[in-house]
């Protein structure tokens, strides 16, 4: 972003984009790239056919994968339009999206709102969908519409669901041990110390993939410095080498002794297993963590609480990223793909998804909430009552800042408790100045 908060006009060529995202020729060698399905007659083949489309999905875990299949099946049944789905492991999809969009992308694909949508819209890699929003606009709140708008004022994104981040735990374990929900940071560390003395991993934590630690960073930042500082820091309107940033890491150090010491070798799914097995006391993650609890009894035993207050804004700011669908530039000529996005923006489409994956909260008005569990209702209420909603660091910040700078910096901090904020600022200056 520029200093006044507007989006810059991106004019980078392929080499520059790959360099910016940290994907050079060496990095590309020997790894599988995202490729589009070849079964459809979408625009990748030069056809504007409305009878089929290709759909690229980074939702590779079993539950969301099955949920999107339910959506495509329901769409095909209703419209007669066939969907060839290309599922790619989540981290591969996210890390290689630039190469994907510049190659032969699928017509429609899963992605995120926030800066990471705006970034590729500004590059001309996405197709605007104002016509789709003319059909579905009444289904969404003004906040969802804003989150779906590109830097040029056109619509690009169809929200499917969002999910709050918080501390998840087993109710029965807490009842057995007499634990109480902490509302302040001091109460959180006191509880963690008690859990450790009880032989538990107090705070389950996994950062092998790099991004989960950003949730802890964001919450401590917002609780110390406020939501607006989070937005200004990710836009580099605030510098990294200042006391407010140093305070984030100084505060985090109080949690390091209580977070899983094996975090850098664990995926979030590994950590969820530990929570389900009552080996850990609590786990800071998004509500998608419940996808891992296939035993209904365990799932019914899961509850959560918001990140406790520290200094400002109490618990009013919530990390609740929005996931949904986009059209690639090539997919813009396929009416069938536009129809698919319109279906995703309807109660019917989102109900089809939620029937299989109830871990997330539908974004469309009129979605069926009759089958909401108490946990679903609590998640929805936390989002609805939040004064500010952040989109997660790697969605609010420049992609290269998130991937190339913050992931190794946070993993280094988790490893040994050290951080160089002057180096963070130097790298941020160089990356943001290049936009």
The first and second tokens of residue 305, run together, are 């609480």
C-alpha to C-alpha distance for 340 and 81, rounded to whole angstroms: 9
Averaged pLDDT score across all residues of the chain: 87
Quick: pLDDT tens for 54-72: 999 999 989 999 999 999 9
Assess whether pLDDT exceeds 90 at residue 407.
yes
What lies within 8 Å, CB to CB, of 168 at 6+ separation is: 275, 282, 283, 284, 285, 287, 289, 290, 302, 303, 304
Domains along the chain with CATH numbers: 14-162+323-366 (3.40.190.10), 165-319+395-433 (3.40.190.10)
Which residues, 6+ apart, have CB-to-CB distance to 73 below 8 Å? 352
Please check whether residue 7 is in contact with residue 151, taking contact to mean a CB–CB distance below 8 angstroms.
yes
Q: What φ, ψ does residue 11 adopt, rounded to 5°? A: -135, 35
Please give the pLDDT value at position 191. 98
Q: What's the burial of 422, exposed, middle or buried (CB within 10 Å: 0-12/13-18/19+)?
A: exposed
Outline where DSSP puts E strands in 6-141.
52-57, 82-87, 108-112
Is the pLDDT at 175 greater than 60? The verdict is yes
CA dihedral 386, 344, 327, 24 (to 10 degrees): 60
Looking at residue 197, its pLDDT comes to: 98
Consecutive H or E run containing 283 = strand 280-286
Query: Exposure string (b/e) for 16-26, b if CB count within 10 Å is 16 or more?
Result: ebbbbbbbeee
**If you average pLDDT over residues 190-199, what whole number do you get?**
98
Cα dihedral 270, 276, 280, 282 in deg (nearest 10): 100
> Each residue of 80-101: pLDDT tens digit?
999 999 999 988 898 889 899 9
Q: Where is pLDDT greater, at 351 or 384?
A: 351
Token pair belonging to 331: 């997919």
Angle at 284 between CA 109 and CA 87, to 5 degrees: 20
Task: Give residues with Cβ within 8 angstroms of 430, minimum separation 6.
Answer: none
Q: Which pLDDT does position 10 carry in this prediction?
A: 28
pLDDT tens-place string over residues 109-158 = 999 998 889 989 999 999 999 999 999 999 988 888 988 999 999 999 99
Has residue 47 got a pLDDT over 60?
A: no
pTM of the model: 0.78
pLDDT band at 435 (very low <50, low <70, confident <90, very high): confident
| Number of other residues whose CB lies within 10 A of the CB of residue 97 | 25
pLDDT at 49: 54
Q: 385 pLDDT band (50/70/90 cuts)?
A: confident
Beta-carbon neighbour count of residue 51 at 10 Å? 14
Is the pLDDT assigned to residue 32 strictly greater than 80? no
User: Tens digits of per-residue pLDDT, 282-306?
Assistant: 999 999 999 899 899 999 999 999 9
Condensed to tens digits (0 to 9), the pLDDT of residues 310-325 reads 998 778 889 999 999 9
The rounded distance, in Å, linking the Cα atoms of 345 and 115 is 21
Structure confidence at residue 141 (pLDDT): 86
Collect all residues with Cβ–Cβ distance below 8 Å to 306 and sequence separation of at least 6.
Answer: 164, 166, 167, 315, 318, 382
Q: What is the percent of the chain with per-residue pLDDT over 70, rounded to a whole number?
A: 89
pLDDT digits (tens, 9 = 90+) for 227-282: 999 999 999 999 999 999 999 999 999 999 999 999 999 999 999 999 999 999 99
* Among the listed residues 363, 424, 335, 253, the one whose alpha carbon sits nearest the alpha carbon of residue 41: 335
């Amino acid at each position: 972003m520029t200093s006044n908060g507007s989006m810059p006009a991106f004019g980078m060529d392929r080499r520059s984009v790959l360099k910016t995202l940290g994907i050079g020729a060496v990095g590309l060698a020997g790894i599988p790239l995202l490729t589009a399905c070849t079964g459809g007659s979408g625009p990748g083949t030069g056809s504007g056919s409305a009878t089929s489309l290709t759909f690229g999905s980074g939702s590779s875990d079993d539950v969301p994968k099955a949920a999107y299949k339910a959506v495509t099946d329901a769409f095909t049944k209703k419209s007669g339009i066939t969907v060839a789905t290309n599922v790619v492991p989540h981290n591969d999809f996210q890390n290689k999206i630039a190469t994907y969009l510049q190659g032969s992308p699928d017509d429609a694909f899963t992605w995120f709102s926030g800066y990471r949508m705006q970034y590729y819209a500004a590059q001309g890699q996405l197709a605007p969908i104002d016509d789709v929003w003319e059909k579905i606009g009444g289904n969404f709140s003004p906040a969802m519409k804003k989150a779906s708008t590109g830097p040029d004022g056109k619509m690009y994104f169809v929200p499917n669901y969002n999910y709050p981040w918080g501390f998840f735990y087993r109710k029965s374990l807490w009842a057995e041990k007499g634990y109480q929900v902490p509302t302040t940071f001091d109460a959180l560390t006191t509880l963690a110390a008690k859990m450790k003395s009880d032989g538990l991993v107090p705070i389950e934590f996994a950062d092998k993939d790099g991004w989960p630690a950003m949730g802890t960073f964001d919450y401590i930042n917002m609780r110390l410095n406020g939501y607006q500082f989070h937005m200004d820091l990710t836009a580099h309107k605030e510098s990294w080498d200042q006391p407010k940033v140093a305070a984030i890491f100084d505060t985090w150090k109080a949690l390091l002794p209580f977070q899983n010491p094996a975090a850098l070798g664990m995926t979030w799914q590994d950590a969820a297993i530990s929570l389900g097995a009552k080996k850990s006391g609590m786990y800071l993650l998004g509500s998608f963590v419940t996808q891992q609890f296939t035993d209904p009894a365990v799932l019914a035993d899961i509850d959560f609480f918001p990140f406790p207050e520290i200094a400002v804004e109490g618990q009013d700011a919530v990390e609740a990223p929005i996931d949904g669908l986009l059209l690639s530039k090539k997919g813009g000529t396929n009416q069938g793909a536009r129809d698919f996005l319109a279906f995703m923006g309807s109660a019917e489409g989102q109900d089809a998804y939620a029937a299989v994956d109830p871990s997330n909260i539908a974004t469309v008005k009129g979605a069926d909430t009759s089958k909401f569990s108490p946990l679903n209702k609590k998640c929805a209420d936390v989002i609805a009552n939040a004064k500010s909603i952040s989109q997660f660091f790697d969605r609010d910040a420049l992609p290269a800042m998130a991937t190339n700078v913050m992931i190794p910096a946070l993993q280094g901090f988790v490893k040994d408790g050290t951080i160089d904020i002057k180096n963070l600022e130097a790298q941020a200056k160089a990356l943001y100045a290049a936009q």
